[in-house]
């Protein structure tokens, strides 16, 4: 199946369905357009709010990592050094 033909058919079908729905709806066209417009605006406002919330979460996480990430790396390096020293004290050596 040709993707271009499928996509074109899908868009054509959706357009025909939208036009038929508007023409056959029990409401006036202008009322339907307003309702659709209000719905789209509502969805966009929700999306905007969700995006802003997500951005704040990312900003907060980035600040936490900036403030605490270096400390954690230092702790991990110190733990690693201690483990290496423990192994050395037990007689383990690096293989070459």
Q: What is the pLDDT of residue 87?
A: 85
**Domain spans in the chain, listed from the N-terminal domain onward:** 28-89
Whether this prediction's pTM lies above 0.85 is answered by no
Q: pLDDT tens digits for the chain (96 residues)?
A: 567 778 888 888 888 888 887 777 776 767 878 888 898 899 888 988 888 888 898 898 888 888 887 788 888 888 889 988 888 888 877 654
Q: What is the pLDDT of residue 30?
A: 79
The per-residue DSSP string of 34-70 comes to HHHHHHHHHHHHHHHHHHHHHHHHHHHHHHHHHHHHH
Report the distance separating Cα 29 and Cα 36, nearest Å: 10
Q: What is the pLDDT of residue 96?
A: 44
Q: What is the pLDDT of residue 1?
A: 53
Q: What is the pLDDT of residue 95?
A: 58
């Amino acid at each position: 199946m040709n993707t271009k033909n499928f996509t074109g058919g899908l868009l054509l079908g959706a357009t025909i369905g939208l036009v038929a729905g508007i023409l056959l709806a029990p409401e006036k066209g202008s009322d339907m357009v307003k309702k659709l417009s209000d719905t789209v605006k509502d969805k966009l406002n929700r999306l905007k709010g969700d995006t802003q919330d997500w951005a704040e979460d990312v900003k907060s996480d980035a600040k936490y990592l900036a403030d605490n990430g270096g400390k954690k790396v230092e702790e991990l390096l110190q733990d690693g050094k201690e483990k290496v020293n423990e192994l050395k004290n037990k007689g383990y050596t690096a293989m070459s």
